[in-house]
Amino acid sequence: MKPTSHDGPPPTLKMWAAMKALGPYLSQFKGRVAVAMGFLVLAKVATVLMPWVLKHIVDGLDASINPLPVLPLLLLIAYGGLRFATVFFGEARDAVFSRVTERTMRLVGLRAFKHLHHLDLEFHLNRKTGGVARDIERGNSGISFLLRMMVFNILPTLLELFMVAAILMVNFSIWMGALTVCAVGLYITFTVMTTEWRNKFVREANQQDSKSNARAIDSLMNYETVKYFNNEQWEANQYDQFLADWEKARLKNRLSLAALNSGQALIISVAVTLMMILVADDVVGGALTLGDLVMVNAYLIQLFIPLNFLGFVYREIRRATTDVEQLFVLLDTEPAVKDAPNAKPFVIGQASVAFDQVSFHYDQRRDVLKGVNFTINPGEKVALVGHSGSGKSTLARLLYRFYDPSAGRILVDGQALTDVTQDSVRQHIAVVPQDTVLFNDSIFANVAYANPDAPEQAVFDAMTMAQLDQFVSRLPDKERTLVGERGLKLSGGEKQRIAIARALLKKPKILIFDEATSALDSATEQSILEAMKQVSVNRTTLVIAHRLSTVVDSDRILVMDQGVIVESGTHRELMAQDGQYRLLWNKQHQLQIDQ
């Protein structure tokens, strides 16, 4: 994943860059955006007219101007109507634009979800689930805040500022308008500079928040391991340390916020005091009326109250921009394995598999595979055996194209995997892994996951072929029994049967068994092997195994050592060679005798 850099364009440009990134989503609702903007202008026009009407009401009631004052009924009705219009048009704007905000959040959230599933295995092996989830959550919240505040606060406040400054210049003096603009300019400058200083504390608090959340989820997902080693208190201490770092970062954030709020309040207080002194002096001199004083005061209140809120909005916009920035960094992360621009759909034939001089490394300093060559003929069952770390499972991952070879080619029916689309190849390959992870749903739903559109009977048939039906029939809720998170309510053998049934329902031409029995007891292993034998018929099958006794019936056995194939043949042929396979066989057989 690309690192998140805090350097680069100025923060204000980053904010507009974030808004620009949301442009394609907003363009789907041009009509709604235009209507919302219309309501925004109407609401602000009504807001700005209220102090002007109030001035005439006060002047109409001022005995020094009108010796026989009368009740200005029409003006009072107009004032009430304008106040209602301000609220009504504001609510109408919110109602129209809320659909835009919610749909944008939905589309970006869906894009992030789909993008995570398209990223390569290496990304998911290195990621911290809690931290990524929190990045997406905060990013979506940031999008909502940016859109709402830009339309509901920043644009209306700026529009009102220009309108009020123009009214003050026309009705009073250029100095009144200039003082208003200068005060607002000073306020915004102070807010921006102080907020940028504070932003490092916001980032630090977010980072500590993600770390503590990731640690908590990681600990809870490994609940059994924690219990096995009596490490509850150690985990609590670790989590508390993360929370302590978060607490320190939050404290810095709060103290810097107090400094910002105090400076903003000082600027507003000084500006309001100076302007009121100027107007009051003219009222005393008779140049202005009492209504003018009331009007100016009303304008200042209308302007500076939302402007004071604008300081909060800008702080939150910077925070939201940081969150959105992190989300779009995630969305811009390129998968290490992706389809070629001219990749074609894979066309399945007899399902032959060939590894042609395949080399691979996770780390350039150490090769895992070195020029591996072998072919699996259609319908053939080939086993890979060898010491741990010899590269067996890596071959399976390359065949499923979780990774691409560093050198060489992998061909299925003569088609190089790098020349066809990943999705079209994977449709015809099923994997029964060593550690079967299930969804927290029913047994039926977990089997049906291989083909959600399959008829119920097809699911039951797959369960029967995987010898899962007898176990299910003994359960009170039968196939509707919930398996628990990650399948923790089931034994290893039961989970493996579900994995086999799931693979069968996919109806693949190529089957991969990756250490599918390594964690099972002998009795369970034999029943799983029988199920594996049945489902492998007429399918091209690759079996990766540590226990040699599980692959003696294979058409061919390949022995791997340090990333190369050192022996090849049937069980009988390899035993006759008196090589590494026989050495492994004797060692495992002796261990069984000793036990």
- Mean pLDDT of the region 546-561: 85
Query: pLDDT tens for residues 267-310?
Result: 888 888 888 888 888 778 777 777 878 888 788 777 777 766 66
Residue 240 pLDDT more than 80?
yes
- d(CA 136, CA 127) in angstroms, rounded, equals 13
Residue 53 pLDDT more than 90?
no
Give residue limits of the domains in the chain: 11-331, 438-507
Q: Which fold has domain 11-331?
A: ABC transporter transmembrane region fold (1.20.1560)
Residue 1 pLDDT more than 50?
no
Burial of 479 (C-beta count, 10 Å sphere; 0-12/13-18/19+) = buried
Residue 12 pLDDT more than 60?
no
- d(CA 496, CA 437) in angstroms, rounded, equals 10
Within this chain, domains 11-331 and 438-507 share the same CATH topology: no
Compute the Cα dihedral for 432, 438, 439, 442 and give only its sign: positive
Superfamily of domain 438-507 in the CATH hierarchy: P-loop containing nucleotide triphosphate hydrolases (3.40.50.300)
Which pTM value belongs to this model? Answer: 0.61
SS (H, E, C) 66-98: CCCCCCCHHHHHHHHHHHHHHHHHHHHHHHHHH
- Mean pLDDT of the region 446-474: 84
Quote the pLDDT of residue 6.
40
Query: 172 in helix, strand or coil?
Result: coil
Element (H, E) at 510: strand 510-514
Buried b (16+ CB within 10 A) or exposed e, 396-409: bebbbbbbebeebe
Lowest-confidence segment of 155-164, 233-242, 331-340 by average pLDDT: 331-340
- Mean pLDDT of the region 532-556: 82
- Mean pLDDT of the region 510-531: 70
Quote the pLDDT of residue 9.
46
Nearest to 135 by CA among 83, 206, 196: 206
Quote the pLDDT of residue 3.
38
Nearest to 256 by CA among 331, 187, 174, 196: 196
Quote the pLDDT of residue 5.
39
Query: pLDDT tens for residues 62-78?
Result: 656 665 556 678 888 88
Residues 6+ apart with CB under 8 A from 397: 121, 403
Average pLDDT for the chain: 79
Quote the pLDDT of residue 84.
93
Residue 446 pLDDT more than 80?
yes
As given in the structure block, the two tokens for residue 226 are 């924690």
Residue 243 pLDDT more than 70?
yes
Quote the pLDDT of residue 15.
59
Query: pLDDT tens for residues 105-145?
Result: 787 777 777 777 767 666 666 665 556 776 777 777 777 77
- d(CA 36, CA 40) in angstroms, rounded, equals 6
Nearest to 503 by CA among 430, 427, 434: 430
Quote the pLDDT of residue 130.
55
- Mean pLDDT of the region 201-225: 80
Q: Tell me the backbone φ, ψ of residue 51, rounded to 5 degrees.
A: -60, -35
Quote the pLDDT of residue 188.
81
